[in-house]
Structure 1
Amino acid sequence: MKKTVASGKTIEDAVQNGLTELKVTADRVNVSVLEQPSRGLFGLIGVRKARVELTLLPEPVVEPEPKEQTTDPLAEAQRFVIEVAETMGLAVQIARHDSKDGLVLSLSGSGDLGMLIGRRGQTLDALQYLVNIVANRYSDNHLRIVLDAEDFRERRRKTLEDLSDRLAGQVIRSRKEVVLEPMSPHERKIIHSQLQNHAKIKTFSKGDEPNRRVVIALK
């Protein structure tokens, strides 16, 4: 079975590099995260790239189907998640529900689902990225799928909101702005939303992806 190990600044970049090397799409591989990216000391020394292993799946047997039958994009997305989890030694169950951010696929099961979440949700974000690629390959309309595990998204949102309030108080006391660590667009949005109506505080983002950061400052 053909495999390749690829690296990149982020897990998404590493996966995309591996797909380019294999010349296949995301639904044709199983992905294992070998190493999370690290920014190193002071963001300068010891920078470590993300490393992933992509295993090429066997060519699917194409059987003729009646014209009226179509492939269910959500079923394909769920199948992909289950197969990735299996490569990590995990058995997961998937529940669906709608939210304002899109269709949520919520994972539960036995074993350490923290492996699917990763440090601050990096592995979960990377898997979510791939799931959306797989689902939209089979959909005529754009689908927005949010992947969650053990209510991580809600717990992370609450953590970021609490962090926002705490740092806003720090800025008011010290009268010095605070620059947060790089975050995903979704997490930056949580910070901005939490403080957008603050009487004394303003927020803005600076830098380029994937190192774009939120700045909390006095108005």
Structure 2
Amino acid sequence: MTEETTETPRDTDRVEKLEQEGDIAADYLEELLDIADLDGDIDMDVEGDRASVSIVGADLSQLVGRDGEVLDALQELTRLAVFRETGERSRLMLDVSGFRAEKRAALEKVAAETIERVQETGSPVSLDPMSPFERKVVHDVVAAAGLTSSSEGVEPRRYVVVQPV
């Protein structure tokens, strides 16, 4: 009896493409760490539909910056490095010292509390302005709960509104 795999050649191609993005990003970030004389290890993964690269190490707070501003800029530069090599836009996610992972956990909690409030009151709830990353986390949690959400406003004051069913 043979085992059937549910992974199609198209899925394999997609994962390989994302792994290639991760490799390019890792090489770019290794060079950056060397230039800045910073110690850090780089972990790569594929999470859903995007490559994920994390830099972990002793004190890398200068790569995060105030409220993740430096991390956001570094992510965009890394995406540009991937674009330069592949000719395709990347949705790569970069994390440094677990900053985004902690932020994601806190946002998931806020989203869950907001969902509960919307379900109790039956009224839409608007959240404070958020970055694109933060809004995506909230939208994903809201969708998983079976509710709808939308982004409103103009950057940098763009925010999420969670609607009742």
Asked if TM exceeds 0.5, the reply is yes
Q: TM-score, normalised by structure 2?
A: 0.68
1:121 aligned residue: 68
Q: Is 1:82 matched up with 2:30?
A: no
- Check if 1:135 corresponds to 2:88: no
Identity %: 32
Give the SS at the match of 1:91. Answer: coil
Gapped runs of 5+ residues in structure 1?
Answer: 1-71
Which of 198, 203, 206 is the aligned partner of 2:149?
A: 203
Q: 1:173 to 1:97 in 2, by over 3 A?
A: closer
Give the aligned partner of residue 137 of structure 2.
190
Residue pairs, 1:89-168, within 5 angstroms: 90-111=38-59, 113-168=60-115
Deviations 1:147-200 (A, max 9, x none): 11223333222211111111222334455533212223332122122122546x
Counterpart secondary structure, 1:156: helix
Separation in 1 of the partners of 2:144 and 2:82?
A: 37
Higher share in strand: 1
8 Å Cα contact 1:182/1:212 also seen in 2: yes
Shift of 1:127: 0.8
Larger radius of gyration: 1
**What is the rounded CA distance, in whole Å, between the counterparts of 1:137 and 1:180 in structure 2?**
36
3-state SS in 1 of match to 2:32: helix
CA distance in 2, matches of 1:144, 1:190: 14
Corresponding residue pairs, total: 143
Q: SS at 2:130's partner residue?
A: coil
Unaligned runs of 5+ in 2: 1-22
